[in-house]
Amino acid sequence: MTQQENNNQSDNSQSSHSGARYWGNVEVVEEGDNYRISRVEIKPRHSIKPQIHYHRNEHWVVVSGVAKITCGEQEIFLNRNESTYVPAATLHKVENPGSIPLVILEIQNGEYLGEDDIERPYDLNLVKPVNEI
């Protein structure tokens, strides 16, 4: 891959990473070669689907609200000013069980930050769709 292709891929991943989602909003605050800092807002009673990344770790810091975090087999609740670490290759998700928006600063760090490094449980056959049960 040429440097120009690499730069274009990085630019595209940033623009596709920011924006509104059904569960809330993501805003990339800063991005470098091996890191991305995002402000993630999750609507009350919404969650991000479980996912795995193989080439990056994530640190989550709760800015406001309460987060219900599932990381591997562990489930924890985090309040404002608390944080957690999500190692690469670990199934994880975050939920907002509260009645106010949950705001998290997410710091991603790794050799590759592309959105194609995300796998969901359905992709991994860890969860069977209802029609297959």
Task: Tell me the domains of the chain and their CATH numbers.
Answer: 3-132 (2.60.120.10)
Torsion 5-39-119-113 (CA) sign: positive
Q: Give mean pLDDT, residues 26-39.
A: 96
CA distance 119 to 125: 10
Flag whether pLDDT at 126 surpasses 60: no
**Band (18; pLDDT cuts 50, 70, 90):** confident
**Band (124; pLDDT cuts 50, 70, 90):** low
Six-digit token pair at 74? 């562990």
| Dihedral angle computed from the Cα positions of residues 115, 108, 77 and 102, in that order, rounded to the nearest 10 degrees | -70
Backbone torsions φ then ψ of 115, nearest 5 degrees: -70, -15
**pLDDT score at 118:** 86
Higher pLDDT, 77 or 21: 77
**Per-residue pLDDT tens over the stretch 39-76:** 999 999 999 999 999 999 999 999 999 999 999 999 99
